[in-house]
Amino acid sequence: MEHIFVAGAFFTTSKEDTDIFPFVVKVIKKNTFDIKVIQPIDIENYREKLKKNNPNISLDELNKKMVDYDLNLVATCKYMIADVTNKSLGLGIELGIIKEHNIPLELVARSGSKISNMVFGAFPNSKIQYYSTLQELEKIITEIVKKNN
């Protein structure tokens, strides 16, 4: 399954920040055809589906299956768009997988964000594209999609 992975801090951020993900997905889908787009809520939905279908699953097993699912999607994506506005251990792990598999990576962040030094160290040749408004983010994402598809 060819797919684009949209990543970023999800559980540790404000609603304003998590609302970015469906917006980015909408922009990607407006500019592409027949490619699946994975976003953080898809991972959480997978976790909830596992819990519903396996009511006796242990928390350890549930977490392992969710992480395995997430990391497999990252390792097999066509490219990743990562919003690095907020620091996140989970995002850091996903970025490590991207680096390990040499998958194309596009970085975006809200203007004024304090970006993790790990991002700069791990991806010294990657340019972070900053946005202040949704209109600016839409333009950036549209350009990314055109470049990568």
Q: Residue 129 pLDDT more than 90?
A: yes
What CA–CA distance (Å, rounded) separates 103 from 51? 31
pLDDT at 132: 95
For the chain, what is the mean pLDDT?
91
Polymer length of the chain: 149
Q: Residue 13 pLDDT more than 70?
A: no
Of 112, 145, 146, 114, whose CA–CA distance to 131 is shortest? 112
Start-end of H helices in 80-149: 89-100, 117-122, 134-148
- Kindly indicate the confidence band of residue 20, based on its pLDDT and cuts at 50, 70 and 90: confident
Which two tokens mark 51? 């819990």
- List of domains in the chain: 3-148 (3.40.50.450)
Radius of gyration of the chain (CA): 15
Which two tokens mark 14? 């404000």
Whether the Cβ atoms of residue 86 and residue 9 lie closer than 8 Å to each other: yes
- Kindly indicate the confidence band of residue 124, based on its pLDDT and cuts at 50, 70 and 90: confident
* Residue whose structure tokens are 């598809």: 149
pLDDT at 123: 87
Of 106, 101, 93, 102, whose CA–CA distance to 43 is shortest? 93
pTM: 0.91
Whether the Cβ atoms of residue 77 and residue 100 lie closer than 8 Å to each other: no
Element (H, E) at 5: strand 3-8
